[in-house]
Structure 1
Amino acid sequence: MVIHIKSDDKLLIKIEELEKKFAEFTKMKKGIDPKKESVKIIFIYLVMGSLWITLSDRLAAQLFEDVRTLALFSTWKGWLYVLVTGWIFYGIIFKSLVLYRDSIVIIYNNYEELSSAHEELIGIEEELSEKYDELEQSYHKLSLSDQKYKLAVDGAKDGIWEWDIKEDRYLFSEKWLKYCGYDPWQIKNTIDGWKGLLHPEDADEAERTLKEYLNSGNGGYQNIYRIRCAEGSYKTILSKGVCIWDEEGNPVRMAGSHTDITQQMMLQESLREEKEFSDNVIKESAVIIMLLSLEGEILRFNDFARGITGYADEEIKGKKVFELFPRNKQDKIKGLYREIITGENANSIEEKIITKNNKAVDVLWSFSPLHDNVGNTRGIILNGTDITERKEMERRLYHAAYYDELTQLPNRAMFNFKVEEKLSEIKGTNDQMALLYLDIDNFKHINEIYGYIVGDELLRYVASVLSHTVSSEGITARLSGDEFIVSMEGIKGVDDVIDQINEINYCLSKPWIHNGQEFYINISCGVAIYPKDGDNLGTLLKRADLAVFSAKEQGKNSYCLFAEEMEDKSKKYMEMDNMLRKAILGNEFTLHYQPQVDATNGKIKKLEALIRWNHPERGFISPEEFIPIAEQTGHIEAIGEWVVEEACRQIKSWKGKGITTPKVSINLSSTMLSRQGISEKSIETINRSIQNVDVEFEITETAILTNEKNVLKALDIMKKNGITIALDDFGTGYSSLNHLQNLPIDVLKIDSSFLMNIHKSDKEKSLYESVIQLAHSLELEVVAEGVETKEQVEFLKENKCDTLQGYYFSRPLPPDKAEVIIANGFIKI
């Protein structure tokens, strides 16, 4: 604090003058000693008098000899001495008196000045006393303020710094050093010491900011930089301060504070990143984002909203959001908007908007209230996701889930849903419903012969016929493969069902032409009627399936109504399936061998290996009973492999006994022949024990047609490896006679059904004769199956049939009995 006193400058000048004069007087006082000065004067007087008398007497004695003259000279000499000394004493006394007088005047004047100064000093003393009291109060206040400041500084993370620029002394407060983990001796108290603590990335900018401030000559200093702590980490600080410049504008001293703003900067950076992220999300997001007023006015919107709606800024800004929706939906949206503002509704909705070019876009909308500081809703943030593609995908997924991709008919899931729904409606009423289970006959052969592309086209054709033929009240669906199902609603009885089946058959009876080739389509149909055949969908489907199975057994291209005995048959089928599994694992099968003899001399040329099953509980089970089921269930492959292995083992056994063994003919099923690698595997099995020439494989026409490409490839490999091929049951398949010339076969076995009828008409005989002649023309061996009478033997011999087989010669024999006849080598004809 500075204390101001009135007229203090003049008083100080007076006091300074008085001090100077007092110093002169003091000096003069010290230089004047009265006693000394008096002795000095008397000494001078005595010296002068002595010199004067002595010198003047000697001079007079020399000059005057006359006593009178000498006396007169001495008188005048005495007066002259008095005059001279009198004048000298006058000067001395005059000077002393003047000095005394001046001293008196000065002392008097100074006394008056001192008296005046004394009075002023008394006033100053009183004023100083008042100022002292004020100073005490101010000091007390300053002490309290200093305490508060110290508490504030200590309570905050701020530190104090000071820089004496001229002396290059830079000081940190003890608190700040401690805060940064330093001891005072660790810090160099110069500006270079401060620079050494700066982060390398911040140093240049921090120094530039300081330099610019020092050059500015005024204002406050503020700088942000990172400073290194003792453990090596950095704190971001805000440095503030002020500078004092001299009269020439040179900076003299700076002081200020350091505030740790590391957390604030991290928060600020986090907020900046979050804002940048939010801005980028809003800008780049493929979502409609709009800020709406409470009245629904569009205030702001993002680029995606512009792109979707097609509106420019000036066209959409200020527009009510409700105007984007279809007219018939706007009232609904307004009501929903009011509920959102009041907090009654926060659900998302799916609703179309109409773009500028009048295109409808499916959008999933969500509304988020925007609140002010006190929680009042001040606007709505509207988010919209373009779900047009999703809706299209949902439609596709729905179609894929409930419709068949190939035929576009409803699939099993959709059929089940619709029929279940209808059954619930008519439950408890007298209404009836029929399910027609449809299966295309021989479709597998079409696929294998002509390829799946043709098969798919045929399925589309059948689906189209069914869709146009079946009543619109019913449902037509594709279950799988070549299986279709039709529901007939509101039928009055079985006659309505039969009429519908006949209409379907009629429409499909016309040939389907594809690439110039005609295809005749036959369908087997099984029927189950609600509620007679079942009161739920599962039962009806199961029984319709059983019915179609029975229809196929009846000869295909027919229909069959469900009957109770079908379930018994189905149970037997399942039982047979289980029995076959156990038979394969339990080695319950055996092979019997039936000889094939030379028609000219009865020599045994070959043996046909025929499978037999002696069940431990049921006894003998005919192949006609279990082979079809084995083919349907897939067990035929395992059985076929066992037959090949067992036949080879038996041949090896007979040869080991030295018995001349004829070629053994083994039947291969269509399933085995269709499998990739069957020829190689069969050859490998044969070669493990015998030679390829010891075996002949029999196949049927149906087996070839099942998968002609794979079958023919397998047959070619077998034939090239020395295995002969026989075409079994010729005449029961679907091939023309001309087809024979393209088959890699060596033997033609005519089905026994032809031989059974030769005695009935000449026509049958001629047909049989023609087949033998045709086979011979193709250089094929002919085997007649089912020979049972002498008459048949004679007929076959007359027509030069090569080989005969049948019960006339021998039934199929077990290995031990077959061994006896092959040891003989001949059978009497």
Structure 2
Amino acid sequence: MKDKQVFTRLVECSPGGIFYTDSDGACTFISSSMYDMFGLEPENCLGENWTEYINSSSGGSVQSNWLKALNAQETFEQEFFHVSPQLGKRTFRAKLKPIYEGSDFMGYVGSVVDVTDRYEAEHHLFETEARFKKLFDFAEVAIWDENFTGVYSELDLLRKSGVHNLAEYLDKSPELILSLAQKIHVNHVNIRGLELFNAETEDDLLSRIDTTFTESSAKVFRDELIAIWNGEESFRAEVDFRALDGELITTILSMPLPKSISDALSVPVSIFDITERAQLINELTNTVALLQESEERFSLAVKGSGVGLWDWNLLTGDVYYSDKFKEILGYQPEEFPNTQEAFWSAVHEADVDAVRQAVAAHIEDCSVPYDMEYRIKSRRGEYCWVKVIGQAVRSQDGKARRIAGSMIDITDQKLAEHLIWQQANYDNLTALPNRAMFLDRFEQEVVRGKRSGDACALLFIDLDHFKEVNDTLGHNVGDQLLVEAAMRILMVIRESDTVGRFGGDEFIVMLTNIADPSSVERVATAIVDTLSKPFNLNDEVVFISASIGIAMSPNDSVHVDELFKFADQAMYEAKTQGRNRHSFFTASMQESATRQRKLIKDLRGALEQEQLEVYYQPIIDLKSEEIYKAEALIRWHHPEYGFVSPVEFIPLAEETGLIIEIGEWVFQQAVNQVKEWRRLINPDFQLSVNKSPVQFHQETPSNWAESLSRSGLSGNAITIEITEGLLLESDQSVKDQIESFHVAGIQVALDDFGTGYSSLSYLKKFDIDCLKIDQAFVRNMEEGSEEHILCEAIIVMAHKLGIKVVAEGIETEQQKVLLVSAGCDYGQGYYFAKPVEAKMLTAQLIKEKRCA
């Protein structure tokens, strides 16, 4: 009796209904919970077939199926609906099992459970997964599912075996990386993934997945393993893959990392194609929409992707924004309302119409994509750039029921693109258009002028003496000067004109819509004037000037490259005329430029074709009038132009670097010649050889002292003549080379003294042995003239410093007498002798020796 009470209490406490039937199916016992479920009275149920009181849409099938089970004495199980006044429509699950005593069938024991909540939850889950599956398949990025179980197990074994530093371990055992890679299995791939890898079907891609990996993939997988080992939450890297057709694609791979064996079973991996942008942007926000077959997988994917998701139900008006969506805008989840109005109020007013039209167009026609970049306001009130992609979900009749998609922050990308554009088109120092942008604008203007007949002008501006400012006051002051020069030029021209920086100390100006050529001259004159005014820079007053070359379109040419060339030629003509002026291009400049190009071309073969020859001009001891010095001077006998002056071809040789080879050849000719004259004429005979600044700055300076020693000559056989400009711009290498000459006994002479910027400090600093007074002072020298006074002063100064003096350009007896009376040591010029070939001077020297 006690056991029966306990059993009855247990049945009554059961959340489901319990009942018994006899062998005919009539109820012999019904629990109180069963009465509550169906709203029944006990006296109306006992003795009745239990299906008789089921009032539901499935009652007929339940009764029919139950009778079949009763006849066959089998277990019965079925779900059905029931509507009661108290509970409304509910879903139940009935289960009945037969009871036997021995072999005799006694009836059934049955239970009925309310499964409404579970049924509704499963239905909601099914709808949710279907929605996420739709979003997954139509995501903008490629997504696939990887199984990391094998990898996770292997890493766990390594940790247990005592490995502490996985990076070092992998570097020592690189074959392990391949072994671990083979333990990863790729499962489902979305539509974008098939498109990215050029696969027709999912099976096609998965069966050939190994062919997509590259050397880059292997390196990234190594970093991925280390990230898992270190317990990082997610992994993101740039990696190269190979599509099934062999095309190399650059991607951003992003994934959450497994924390346990259960997590490792399915890891969503997003692959964003950045092939076209990989060369332009250092960092690109990974744009993915990680969608999976369940809410759990979807949540894990979103966590590792950095993508904000949104979903608008167009029928109900319900709106969903993911936490990441709100985070991108700087909001906490509860701060940004789940309404369309909140979104539209955040879109930049200049973009909102375009966005509305794009959304409406996609909702109306599924073939019109919704893929936009626009600005949206953040919580701080600042606008950030976002990329938004959406996909409408449609009913069978094609009507859009909802639209959902992703949003990523591309502000950094936009800033990078703007910076790249700025750097590609503007000068960093002056903020003026650079050469590339100016050229583009100028080309457009020239083309427009061809159609309209309007004239335009190109002004090529070079700052005179800028190098001296840079060298003496430093690059910082030089930069300040360039910035102020740019501002001054801008103040002179119209807003419709363009100023650009061509490079270094060169500027370019485009003047448009020119009605009168005289206006171009006025602008050029104004630029020359404004740049000639003093610059106050860092408490220094600096003076420069400008040389401007001008070419006109269409008068001079309608080809941009020719106009630049003509303006450049005109600018050099302005420099030749004395600088601080402008010059218009003329046809004669082109002829001169053509001659220069031919001379440069022919100069390259002049040595090989024996067109160059060394002449020698005697240097006279003014006291004894004896010749035991001479200067080696190069001459060029051009096959077409005849004799070409060194004044014309030496600058070309320096400009092209040919002066190095020519200078070495002249030096060797001089060594051979002085050796012969020392043997024939005078054992102390000395030759002067000019050495260009370019030779001093060559990458590997030649060792002339060693060459003299190999020839059996002492250092005093040669004097090296240098220019004053070399001393101004000298660096440590130049100082070392000059010092090496003195150590070897080679004398150093300062040529053209008085025309440059030399000072007493330079004479002492470089230990100059001889000054050569420039012929400009000697040529016009008369007794009592300024030139006479300057020459006397130079000679006295030099002798006080222990320096010998050579006067160049002596042409008259009076000049010689004045120099002798001033105490000048040596003289050189046409009065004594012109430069002659070596054999002619040899004959003269031998004759004088015999006469002596």
CA contact (8 A) 1:445 1:707 kept: no
CA contact (8 A) 1:310 1:357 kept: yes
CA contact (8 A) 2:457 2:511 kept: yes
Separation in structure 2 between the aligned mates of residue 397 and residue 572 of structure 1, nearest angstrom: 42
User: What is the deviation of 1:381?
Assistant: 3.2
Separation in structure 2 between the aligned mates of residue 714 and residue 271 of structure 1, nearest angstrom: 74
1:330–1:513 distance in 2 versus 1, CA, 3 Å: closer
1:337 has 2:331 as partner? no
- In the TM superposition, 1:716-755 aligns within 5 A as 716-736=739-759, 739-755=762-778
Separation in structure 1 between the aligned mates of residue 698 and residue 835 of structure 2, nearest angstrom: 29
1:684–1:588 distance in 2 versus 1, CA, 3 Å: farther
The structure with more radius of gyration:
1
Gap runs ≥5 in structure 1: 1-140, 142-198, 203-262
Separation in structure 2 between the aligned mates of residue 658 and residue 774 of structure 1, nearest angstrom: 33
Q: Secondary structure at the match of 1:549?
A: helix
CA contact (8 A) 2:477 2:538 kept: no
CA contact (8 A) 1:696 1:725 kept: yes
Q: Secondary structure at the match of 2:605?
A: helix
Residue 272 (structure 2) aligns with: none
1:521–1:273 distance in 2 versus 1, CA, 3 Å: same
Residue 478 (structure 2) aligns with: 455
User: What is the deviation of 1:631?
Assistant: 2.3
1:605 has 2:599 as partner? no
CA contact (8 A) 2:719 2:747 kept: yes
- In the TM superposition, 1:438-517 aligns within 5 A as 438-517=461-540
User: What is the deviation of 1:340?
Assistant: 2.1
CA contact (8 A) 2:771 2:798 kept: yes
Identity %: 33
The letter of the residue matching 2:329 is: T
CA contact (8 A) 1:712 1:743 kept: yes
CA contact (8 A) 1:727 1:748 kept: yes
Q: What's the CA shift string for 1:422-450, capped at 9, x where partnerless?
A: 33434343532221110111323333333
The letter of the residue matching 1:304 is: K
1:664 has 2:658 as partner? no
Residue 322 (structure 1) aligns with: 344
Separation in structure 1 between the aligned mates of residue 611 and residue 724 of structure 2, nearest angstrom: 29
- In the TM superposition, 1:572-587 aligns within 5 A as 572-587=595-610
CA contact (8 A) 2:458 2:564 kept: yes
1:306 has 2:344 as partner? no
The letter of the residue matching 1:356 is: R
Separation in structure 1 between the aligned mates of residue 609 and residue 481 of structure 2, nearest angstrom: 44
Residue 840 (structure 2) aligns with: 817
Separation in structure 1 between the aligned mates of residue 663 and residue 532 of structure 2, nearest angstrom: 38
CA contact (8 A) 2:330 2:378 kept: yes
The letter of the residue matching 2:347 is: F
Q: Secondary structure at the match of 2:613?
A: strand
CA contact (8 A) 1:474 1:488 kept: yes
Residue 233 (structure 1) aligns with: none
The letter of the residue matching 1:416 is: L
Separation in structure 2 between the aligned mates of residue 450 and residue 614 of structure 1, nearest angstrom: 43
Residue 379 (structure 2) aligns with: 356
Q: Secondary structure at the match of 2:606?
A: helix
Residue 776 (structure 1) aligns with: 799
Residue 227 (structure 1) aligns with: none
In terms of fraction of residues, the more strand-rich structure is 2
Residue 313 (structure 2) aligns with: 293
CA contact (8 A) 1:602 1:826 kept: no
Q: Secondary structure at the match of 2:809?
A: coil
Q: What's the CA shift string for 1:268-307, capped at 9, x where partnerless?
A: 9998334577644411223333233336967444443232
Residue 803 (structure 1) aligns with: 826
Separation in structure 2 between the aligned mates of residue 588 and residue 329 of structure 1, nearest angstrom: 73
CA contact (8 A) 1:676 1:710 kept: no
Q: What's the CA shift string for 1:740-782, capped at 9, x where partnerless?
A: 3444211000011211111275332222211111111111100
User: What is the deviation of 1:389?
Assistant: 1.5
Residue 703 (structure 2) aligns with: 681
- In the TM superposition, 1:56-95 aligns within 5 A as none
Separation in structure 1 between the aligned mates of residue 344 and residue 449 of structure 2, nearest angstrom: 45
Q: What's the CA shift string for 1:613-671, capped at 9, x where partnerless?
A: 12344432221221122223332222222222322233345557796351211101122
1:825–1:694 distance in 2 versus 1, CA, 3 Å: farther
The letter of the residue matching 2:776 is: S
In terms of fraction of residues, the more helix-rich structure is 1
Candidates 426, 430, 436, aligned match of 1:403: 426
Separation in structure 1 between the aligned mates of residue 553 and residue 523 of structure 2, nearest angstrom: 16
User: What is the deviation of 1:514?
Assistant: 2.5
Residue 442 (structure 2) aligns with: 419
1:692 has 2:686 as partner? no
Q: Secondary structure at the match of 1:586?
A: coil
Candidates 543, 546, 549, aligned match of 2:572: 549
Residue 809 (structure 2) aligns with: 786
Residue 652 (structure 2) aligns with: 629
Separation in structure 2 between the aligned mates of residue 604 and residue 497 of structure 1, nearest angstrom: 58
Q: TM-score, normalised by structure 1?
A: 0.63
Q: Secondary structure at the match of 1:485?
A: strand
1:374–1:587 distance in 2 versus 1, CA, 3 Å: farther
1:720–1:380 distance in 2 versus 1, CA, 3 Å: farther
User: What is the deviation of 1:412?
Assistant: 1.3
CA contact (8 A) 1:603 1:827 kept: no
Candidates 456, 460, 469, aligned match of 1:437: 460
1:658–1:373 distance in 2 versus 1, CA, 3 Å: farther
Q: Secondary structure at the match of 2:772?
A: strand
1:613–1:422 distance in 2 versus 1, CA, 3 Å: closer
Q: What's the CA shift string for 1:707-760, capped at 9, x where partnerless?
A: 466544432332233221101011221334665344421100001121111127
CA contact (8 A) 1:435 1:488 kept: yes
Q: What's the CA shift string for 1:503-553, capped at 9, x where partnerless?
A: 222222221133332211110001112221222433322211111111111
Separation in structure 1 between the aligned mates of residue 264 and residue 361 of structure 2, nearest angstrom: 35
Residue 287 (structure 2) aligns with: none
1:647 has 2:670 as partner? yes
Q: Secondary structure at the match of 1:733?
A: coil
1:629–1:327 distance in 2 versus 1, CA, 3 Å: closer
Q: Secondary structure at the match of 2:379?
A: coil
Separation in structure 1 between the aligned mates of residue 680 and residue 309 of structure 2, nearest angstrom: 94
Greater mean deviation of Cα atoms: 466-475 or 331-340: 331-340
The letter of the residue matching 2:622 is: A
CA contact (8 A) 1:674 1:707 kept: no
1:711–1:294 distance in 2 versus 1, CA, 3 Å: same
Residue 284 (structure 1) aligns with: 304
- In the TM superposition, 1:10-25 aligns within 5 A as none
Q: Secondary structure at the match of 1:314?
A: coil
CA contact (8 A) 1:602 1:828 kept: no
CA contact (8 A) 1:667 1:698 kept: yes
Separation in structure 2 between the aligned mates of residue 375 and residue 656 of structure 1, nearest angstrom: 109
Separation in structure 2 between the aligned mates of residue 655 and residue 783 of structure 1, nearest angstrom: 21
1:638 has 2:661 as partner? yes
- In the TM superposition, 1:89-168 aligns within 5 A as none
CA contact (8 A) 1:365 1:384 kept: yes
Separation in structure 2 between the aligned mates of residue 778 and residue 723 of structure 1, nearest angstrom: 18
1:556–1:712 distance in 2 versus 1, CA, 3 Å: farther
Separation in structure 2 between the aligned mates of residue 712 and residue 460 of structure 1, nearest angstrom: 33
CA contact (8 A) 1:367 1:381 kept: yes
Q: What's the CA shift string for 1:89-126, capped at 9, x where partnerless?
A: xxxxxxxxxxxxxxxxxxxxxxxxxxxxxxxxxxxxxx
Gap runs ≥5 in structure 2: 1-71, 73-149, 154-206, 208-261, 269-291
Q: CA RMSD in A?
A: 3.3
Separation in structure 2 between the aligned mates of residue 536 and residue 415 of structure 1, nearest angstrom: 15
Separation in structure 1 between the aligned mates of residue 479 and residue 850 of structure 2, nearest angstrom: 54
1:721–1:293 distance in 2 versus 1, CA, 3 Å: farther
